[in-house]
Structure 1
Amino acid sequence: MFAWFERRIDPYPSETPAMPPRGLWRFLLHYSHGAMPWLVALALFSGVIAVIEVMLFGWLGDLVDQLADTPREVFWQQEGARLTMMAVVLLIGLPALNLLASLVLHQSLMGNFPQRIRWQAHRYLLRQSIGYFQDEFAGRIAQRLMQTALAVREVAMKIMDVGSYVLIYFLGSLVLAGSQDWRLALPFAAWAAGYAIMLWQIVPRLGRVAQAQADARSQMTGRVVDSYTNIATVKLFSHSTREEAWMRDGMDGFLHTVHRQMRLSTIQDVALNVLNVALVGGVTALGLWLWTEGRVAVGAVAVAVPLALRLNNMSHWIMWEFASLFENIGTVRDGIASLALPRQVLDAPDARALQPGPGAVSFDHVTFRYAGPDGARPLAVLDDLTLHVAPGERVGLVGRSGAGKSTLVNLLLRFHDIEGGRITIDGQDIAGLTQDSLRAAIGVVTQDSSLLHRSVRDNVAYGRPDATEDEIADALRMAEAHGFVPGLSDSYGRYGLDAHVGERGVKLSGGQRQRIAIARVALKDAPILILDEATSALDSEVEAAIQSRLDMLMQGKTVIAIAHRLSTIAAMDRLIVMDAGRIVEQGSHGQLLAQGGLYARLWTRQSGGFLAADAAE
Structure 2
Amino acid sequence: MIFRWFERLVDPFVDGSDEMPPQTLAAFYAHYLRPIAPILAALLALGLAVALIEVLLFDFLSTLIDWTQAAASPEAFFDEHAGALAAMAVTALLLRPLFNALHDLLVHQAIEPGLTARMLWQQHRYVLQQSLSFFQNDFAGRIATRILQTAPALRESAVQIVDAIWYILVYVSLAGLLFVQANGWLLMPLLLWVAGYLLLLRVFVPRLEARSAAASESRSKLGGRVVDGYSNALTLKLFAHTEREQAYAREAIAEFRDDTRRMTRTVTTMDVAMTVHSGLLIVGTPALALWLWSRGLVSTGDIALATGLVIRIVNMSDWILWTVTGIFENIGTVHDGMRAISQPRQVTDRADAMPLRAERGEIRFDDIRFHYGRRGGVIEGLSLSVRAGERIGLVGPSGAGKTTLGNLLLRLHDLEGGRILIDGQDIAAVTQQSLRRQIGVVTQDSSLLHRSIRDNLLYGRPDADDAAIAEALRRAQADGFVHALVDGEGRRGLDAHVGERGVKLSGGQRQRIAIARVLLKNAPILLLDEATSALDSEIEAAIQASLDELMHGKTVIAIAHRLSTIARLDRLVVLQQGRIVEAGTHAELLEAGGLYARLWNRQVGGFMPTATE
Do Structure 1 and Structure 2 share a fold, with TM-score over 0.5?
yes
Q: Equivalent of 1:538, from 535, 540, 550? A: 535
Q: Alignment partner for residue 592 of structure 1, among 580, 589, 593? A: 589
Structure 1 residues 312, 615: CA separation in 2 closer, same or farther (over 3 Å shift)?
A: farther
Q: State whether residues 207 and 328 of structure 1, in contact with CA within 8 Å, keep that contact through their aligned partners in structure 2.
A: no
Q: Which amino acid aligns with 1:318?
A: I
For the 8 Å contact 1:207–1:329, the answer to whether it is kept is yes
SS of the residue corresponding to residue 484 of structure 1 reads helix
Match status 1:448 vs 2:445: yes
Q: Secondary structure at the match of 2:580?
A: strand
Q: In structure 1, what is the Cα distance between the partners aligned to 2:605 and 2:327?
A: 64
For structure 1, the 5+ residue unaligned runs are: 373-377
Question: Is 1:384 aligned to residue 381 of structure 2?
Answer: yes
Deviations 1:222-249 (A, max 9, x none): 1111111111110000011111111111
Supply the RMSD in Å over aligned alpha carbons.
1.4
Residue 231 of structure 2: which of 225, 229, 239 is its match?
A: 229
**1:252 Cα deviation after fit:** 0.8
Q: Note the C-alpha offset of 1:163.
A: 1.9
Over the matched positions of the two proteins, sequence identity in percent amounts to 53
| Aligned-residue offset at 1:614 | 5.3
Q: CA deviation at 1:608?
A: 7.1
Distance in 1, matches of 2:604 and 2:278, equals: 82
The equivalent of 1:616 in structure 2 is 612
Which residue in the other structure is 2:59 paired with? 58
Whole-Å separation in 2 of the counterparts to 1:23 and 1:334: 12
Describe the SS at the equivalent of 1:436.
helix
Letter in 2 for 1:126: L
2:109 aligns with one of 107, 110, 118: 107
Q: 8 Å contact 2:358–2:422 — kept in the other structure?
A: no
Q: Deviation at 1:461?
A: 1.3
Q: Map 1:541-552 to 2 at 5 A.
A: 541-552=538-549
SS across alignment from 1:35: helix
**Residue in structure 2 matched with residue 35 of structure 1 by the alignment:** 36
SS state at 2:574 partner: strand
Q: Is 2:1 aligned against 1:4? A: no
TM-score for both structures, normalised by structure 1 = 0.97
The structural deviation recorded for 1:176 is: 1.5
1:166 matched to which residue of 2? 168
Q: How far apart in 1 are the matches of 2:610 and 2:65?
A: 99
- Secondary structure at the aligned position of 2:19 is classed as coil
The 3-state SS of whatever aligns with 1:111 is helix
The amino acid of 2:376's aligned partner reads: L
Paired letter, 2:476:
A
Which residue is 1:82 aligned to?
Answer: 84
Distance 1:614 1:417, change over 3 A: farther
CA distance in 2, matches of 1:162, 1:538: 63
The alpha carbon displacement at 1:379 in A equals: 1.9
Name whichever of 308-317 and 424-433 sits farther off.
308-317
Letter in 2 for 1:596: G
Residues of 2 paired with 1:219 and 1:168: CA distance?
41
What's the CA shift for 1:121?
Answer: 0.4
Partner of 1:155: 157
Aligned residue number for residue 282 of structure 2: 280
The 10-residue stretch of structure 1 (305-314 or 110-119) with the greater mean CA deviation from structure 2:
305-314
Stretch moving more, 523-532 or 417-426: 417-426
Tell me if structure 2 keeps the 8 A contact 1:208–1:327.
Answer: no
8 Å contact from structure 1 (residues 145, 335) kept in 2: yes
| Equivalent position amino acid for 2:584 in 1 | G
* Larger displacement relative to structure 2 (362-371 or 442-451): 362-371
The answer to whether the Cα contact below 8 Å between 1:529 and 1:558 also exists between their aligned partners in 2 is: yes
- In structure 2, what is the Cα distance between the partners aligned to 1:607 and 1:47? 84
Letter in 1 for 2:501: R
Equivalences for residues 136-535 of structure 1 within 5 A: 136-372=138-374, 378-535=375-532
Give deviations 1:415-466, integer Å, cap 9, x for gaps: 1111111111011111110000000000000000100000011111110111
Shift in Å at residue 138 of structure 1? 0.9
Contact 1:443–1:521 (CA<8 Å) still a contact in 2?
yes
Q: Distance in 2 between matches of 1:9 and 1:157?
A: 15
Task: Judge which range, 89-98 or 391-400, deviates more.
Answer: 89-98
Give the counterpart letter for 1:181 in structure 2. N
Which runs of 5 or more structure 2 residues have no equivalent in the other structure? Answer: none
Distance in 1 between the 2:565 and 2:485 partners?
29
Instruction: Give the drift of 1:612.
Output: 5.5
Query: 1:193 and 1:247 mapped to 2: Cα distance?
Result: 45
Tell me the SS of whatever aligns to 2:567: coil
The answer as to 2:599 corresponding to 1:606 is no
Aligned length: 611
User: Quick check: 1:394–1:574 contact (8 Å CA) kept in 2?
Assistant: yes
Amino acid at match of 1:560: I
Q: Is the 8 A contact 1:563 1:569 kept in 2?
A: yes
Report the Cα distance in structure 2 between the residues aligned to 1:113 and 1:328, rounded to whole angstroms.
15
Evaluate the alpha carbon distance shift between residue 604 and residue 114 of structure 1 in structure 2; reply closer, same or farther with a 3 A threshold. same
For residues 115 and 360 of structure 1, what CA distance do their matches in structure 2 show?
44
2:570 aligned residue:
573
Tell me, yes or no, if the aligned pair for 2:168 and 2:316 is still in contact at 8 Å: no
Matches of 2:223 and 2:148 in 1, distance apart?
12
- Cα 1:613–1:132 change in 2 (3 A) is farther
Deviation at 1:386, TM superposition (A): 0.7
Is the Cα contact below 8 Å between 2:176 and 2:190 reproduced in 1? Answer: yes
Q: Deviations over 1:303-360 (max 9, x none)?
A: 0000111112212111000111111111111011110000001101000001131100
CA pair 575-49 structure 1, distance change in 2 beyond 3 A: same
Cα displacement (A) at 1:477? 0.8
Contact 1:471/1:523, CA 8 A, preserved across alignment: yes
Question: What SS class does the counterpart of residue 422 from structure 1 fall into?
Answer: strand
Tell me which of 562, 567, 571 is aligned to 2:559: 562
Residues 303 and 157 of structure 1, relative CA distance in 2, 3 Å threshold: same
Question: Who is 2:24 aligned against?
Answer: 23
Provide the secondary structure at the position in 2 that maps to 1:531. Answer: strand
Counterpart residue identity of residue 486, structure 1:
H
Measure how far apart 1:180 and its partner are. 1.1
Q: CA deviation at 1:16?
A: 4.8
Distance 2:11 2:501 in 1: 32
C-alpha separation in 2, matches of 1:308 and 1:32: 34
